Each structure stands twice: as structure tokens, then as C-alpha cells.
Amino acid sequence: MRSRFAKVLVWASHAWKAQAHPKRVAEWLLIEWPADASEPTDYWLGYLDSEAVGLHRLARIARSRWRIEQDYRELKEELGLDHFEGRHWLGWHHHVTMVSMAFAFLRTEQARAKKLLV
């Protein structure tokens, strides 16, 4: 996945309609503008220290959501996270725990298999 990113220091006006006057803090606005797009496609606001976190790291953090969504879809489709039909919290908790353990086991096995191939 490749794209173009820019970061700009901004002071967002949070809660301006509510006439609240919170303390204004500088935030970083991360903008994604793919080369084949006519305008920017995504925006993120963050309270990160610019000296410690560069543009490349900010882009990786912003796009890490993709990996989380992939894992969640795998949990639902392949491991049955969304198949629970009980009525009690304890049963739901047990179901989610077992699915999470199965997911962790599969990830561990994938990592071990990849390590053996290298």
C-alpha cells in the first residue's frame, strides 16, 4: 500500500456549536492524498509530539486500522465470533474468550510456520 501524506499543525475548534470554550491545543492533521485521486481522501487528527513521531510513523499508525479490521473480519467469518446466540453475559464471555484463544493459537502457528520456512 502506497500513498502520499502530509502533516500540518492545526488548532481544531472542538465543540464550537455548544459554545464551550475548551483549552485549545495544537494537533497534527495528517492528510492522505493518493496520486491517482483528484483530492485528498482521508484525514486524521492526533496529539502526537512531532519531533518524536515523523511523517512515515504517523502514516503507519493511521493505516494500522486496516490490520485490525482484517483480524476482526477473520474472527467473525472463520472463527465464529458472531455465532453466539445465548442470553447471558457469562456465556458470551466464554464464547469470546474461546474464539480469541483460537485466534491467538492460529497466529502463533502461522508465525512458527513462517519462521521454519525462512
Task: Evaluate whether 27 touches 12 at the Cβ level (below 8 Å).
Answer: yes
Residues 23 and 5: their CA atoms lie apart, in Å, by 28
pLDDT at 50: 59
β-strands 27-32, 5-10: how paired?
antiparallel
What's the pLDDT tens digit per position in 13-42?
A: 766 666 666 677 788 889 999 989 899 999
**Residue 57 to residues 5, 26, 42: CA-CA distances in angstroms?**
11, 19, 16
pLDDT < 50 regions, the chain? none
Residues 63 and 96: their CA atoms lie apart, in Å, by 26
pLDDT at 115: 83
Spacing of C-alpha 12 from chain mean position: 22
What pTM does this model have?
A: 0.57
